[in-house]
Structure 1
Amino acid sequence: MRDIVSTPAFAIMISLVAFEIGCIINKKTKLSVLNPLLVGIILIIIFLKYFNISVSDYNKGGQFISFFLSPATVVLAVPLYKKIKLFKENALPIFSGIFLGTLSGIATVITLCHLFGLSKSLNLSIIPKSITTPIGVEVSKQLGGIPSITVAAIILTGIIGSIIGPGVFKILNIKDKVAIGVALGTASHAVGTSKAIELGETEGAMSSLSIGIAGLITVLIVPIMTKIFHSLI
């Protein structure tokens, strides 16, 4: 049994099974709070805990899943290609929305971490919460954060954004497909984009674009903003 558990194929298999169960539960219940990714994570944690399987053994296969995150994110450019004309027509408001959304997200994290008295390492780890995992982990390392906490923050941000996003749009009466896509992609990265794709092709395309641009903006401005905010507060 030990030999089977320690193989990469075992971790990959239980990850796929857990996520598929999450998809089935989500479709059956139609509850946005039962996000397939969230359900899958909970099931894997319970499974590892119940059978006393170490995280290091699980990561022998989990690392292969992480490796494919980057190319999987690139595939999200396909919906954008189909809507390239719409993007050209709305280039300025799209870029403005992504920039301001990224800026406010970073500023909010730094301010709240200071107000709640969180340590500097935790602050630096949470700052890249709204960008896709491969970029967020590298940003966290450069800032001196803790990558494992960054990954957890990114996952939670994506799940929460995909769950409450549609409700927020309804409350604020936001119906523009471009705005919805930009909001989900900028705030909730790939998980939000998967929700955007469910809402429509235009939303998915704009959300896909937002992931890449938000990640680039974060890489460029985070070091500057961090120094400015920490010197002020």
Structure 2
Amino acid sequence: MITGLLCLLITISLYCLCKKGYRRRPRIYLSPLLVTPVVLVIGLLVTHIPYETYNNGGQWLNHLLQPATIAFAIPLFKYYQVLKKHVVVILISVLSGSLMAMFSSALLAQSMHLDTALVNSLVPRSVTTPIAMSVSQVIGGVPNMTAVFVIITGLLGTMIGPLIVKWFHIDNEVARGVLLGTGAHGTGTSKAFEFSSLTGTISSISMIIAALFTLGAAPFIISWLF
């Protein structure tokens, strides 16, 4: 128990340190979402600490994911009128993007002849972690693997998203927000707030809509494909 709590404190301290470094030098390879897990994995391997022991303390961070998502309600309230004005465009864009993400993940995994459990774990990769893990469990995936795929998706989306914005000269804040929120969930939303508060708000609502839609649609898509 003491070792688990120590691991929890080390995880939080490491993340805060990485975040401070990322603020000074915002490069994707310095992202705390990338550096923190890599350093932790290396540390566990070197010290021979079992994952179960680490998770005795680390599980508390998982419990905080869902209430943390509620914090997005603050910017949603602030920009309610803007959201109301663009609600149809946001809904159509997010639902289309979510469908594309689920179908492309399943079909790509099938084409690579991956195990069914891995295919099911990949399908909800484009939504926020707590919902993605819940969807994965419902459709027969491996929640822990889904969490890994979610992180990879978020990091890639954070790298590619800003490049797409730059190359295609996407100046509209609604378009930027939908792009990052639908494609890279929470990580993309964090990046979206670097553009502007409105872009981040649109991204957060896009992430939430995508998560709710995936939660309802994923079981039907899996049953239809298989």
TM-score of the pair, normalised by structure 2: 0.95
Equivalent residues, number? 226
Given the alignment of the two structures, is residue 182 of structure 1 paired with residue 157 of structure 2, yes or no? Answer: no
Letter in structure 2 aligned against 1:164: I
Deviation at 1:175, TM superposition (A): 1.5
Equivalences for residues 199-210 of structure 1 within 5 A? 199-210=195-206
Q: Is the 8 A contact 1:22 1:36 kept in 2?
A: yes
- The residue that corresponds to 1:88 in the other structure is 84
**Which residue of 2 is the match for residue 47 of structure 1?**
43
Which structure 1 segments of 5+ residues have no match?
none
Alpha-carbon separation, structure 2, partners of 1:67 and 1:121: 24
Given the alignment, which residue of 104, 107, 112 partners 1:111?
Answer: 107
Q: 2:188 is matched by which residue type in structure 1?
A: G
Which structure 2 residues correspond to residues 1-233 of structure 1 after superposition, within 5 A? Answer: 4-6=2-4, 8=5, 10-230=6-226
Q: Would the aligned equivalents of 2:29 and 2:35 in 1 still touch at CA under 8 Å?
A: no
Q: Given that residues 125 and 146 in structure 2 are in contact (C-alpha distance below 8 angstroms), is that contact kept between their aligned partners in structure 1?
A: yes
Deviation, structure 1 residue 4: 3.6
Q: Give the deviation of 1:103 after TM superposition.
A: 0.5
Residue 125 of structure 1, CA deviation = 0.6
Q: CA deviation at 1:27?
A: 3.2
Amino acid at match of 2:3: V
Identical residues among aligned pairs (%): 33
Query: Cα offset for 1:26?
Result: 2.1
Query: What letter corresponds to residue 177 of structure 2 in structure 1?
Result: G
> Residue deviations 1:68-114, cap 9 Å, x none?
00000110121111111100111100101110010100011011111
Q: CA deviation at 1:22?
A: 1.6
Q: Which runs of 5+ in 2 are unaligned?
A: none
* Residues 21 and 40, structure 1, Cα contact 8 Å, conserved in 2: no
- Structure 2 SS opposite 1:174: coil
Please state whether the residue corresponding to 1:129 is helix, strand or coil.
coil
Per-residue Cα deviation, 1:32-71 (whole angstroms, up to 9, x for no partner) = 2321111111111122222221111110111101000000
Rounded Cα–Cα distance in structure 2 between residues aligned with 1:91 and 1:27: 33
Greater shift, 27-36 or 142-151, is seen at 27-36
- Post-superposition offset of 1:211: 1.7
Distance 2:150 2:215 in 1: 15
- What amino acid maps onto 1:33 in structure 2? Y
- Taking the aligned partners of 1:130 and 1:150, their CA distance within structure 2 comes to 10
